Structure 1
Amino acid sequence: MAVEPLSHKEIEERLAELPGWSYEEGRLTRSYRLGSHAAATAMVVHIAQVQEELDHHSDLTLGYDTVSLSTHTHSAGGAVTEKDVELAHRVEDLAAGHGAH
C-alpha cells in the first residue's frame, strides 16, 4: 500500500505534537543529548529495534553523548508521511527512559 506525502500544513500540525522536532530539508529531524556515550549507544540500539518493528528506517547519527535522527519516506519520493510521524512519536516515547533531553 502506498503512503501519501503530508502537506506542509499537515507537517506543521504533527510537529505541534512533537516538541523538539523540526522540519528541515524535507525531513523530520531531532537531536538528543544523553549522560554518556554508553547511554547514547543504548538509545541508538533501541531506536534501531523500533525501526525494524515499523519497517521504517531513519538516518541515525551517534555522537559522544548525542543521538540525532532525520526521517523521510523513500517510497513516497522522499516526502514526509505518517510513517515518519509514527517513528518520531515512538522515539519520543523511548527517549525519556534513556535520560535523553
Structure 2
Amino acid sequence: MAVEPLSHKEIEERLAELPGWSLDGDRIARVYRLPSHFAAAALVVHVARVQDELDHHSDLVLGYNTVSLTVNTHSAGGAVTEKDFELARRVEGIAAGHGAE
C-alpha cells in the first residue's frame, strides 16, 4: 500500500498535537533534553526498538544529554506522511520514562 504525503495543513494540525515537534524543511523534528548522557543513550536504544517495530526509521543524533530526531518517509519521495507522525507519537510515549524534556 502506498503512503501518501500529508498536506501542509494536515502536518500543522498533527504538529499541534505534539508539543516540541516542528517542521524542519521536508521533515518533522524534535530535540529531547535528558538528565545525563546515559539516559540519552538509553532513549536512543528504546527509539531504535520502536523504529524496528514500525519498520520506519528516523535520523537519530545522540549528544551529551540530548537526542535529536528528524524523520520523513523515503517511500513517499521524502515527504511527511502519517507514518512519521505514528513514529513521533510512539517516541513521545516513551521519552518521559527516560526523563526527557
- Give the TM-score of the pair, scaled to structure 2: 0.99
| Local SS of the residue matching 1:75 | helix
| Structure 1 residue ranges (4+ consecutive) displaced by more than 6 angstroms after TM superposition | none
Instruction: Figure out how many residues of one structure are paired with residues of the other and give that number.
Output: 101
Instruction: Map 1:45-64 onto structure 2 (within 5 A).
Output: 45-64=45-64
Alignment correspondent of 1:83:
83
Alignment correspondent of 2:34:
34
Query: Which digits, 9 at most, give the CA deviation of each residue in 1:6-63, with x for residues without a partner?
Result: 0000000000100000001110000000011000000000000000000000000000
**Pairwise CA RMSD of aligned residues?**
0.3
Unaligned runs of 5+ in 2: none
| Local SS of the residue matching 1:61 | strand
Among all aligned residue pairs of Structure 1 and Structure 2, give the percentage whose two residues are the same amino acid: 76
Alignment-mate amino acid for residue 29 of structure 1 = A
Q: 1:75 and 1:3 mapped to 2: Cα distance?
A: 7
- Give the TM-score of the pair, scaled to structure 1: 0.99
Unaligned runs of 5+ in 1: none
Does residue 16 of the first structure (1) align with residue 20 of the second (2)? no
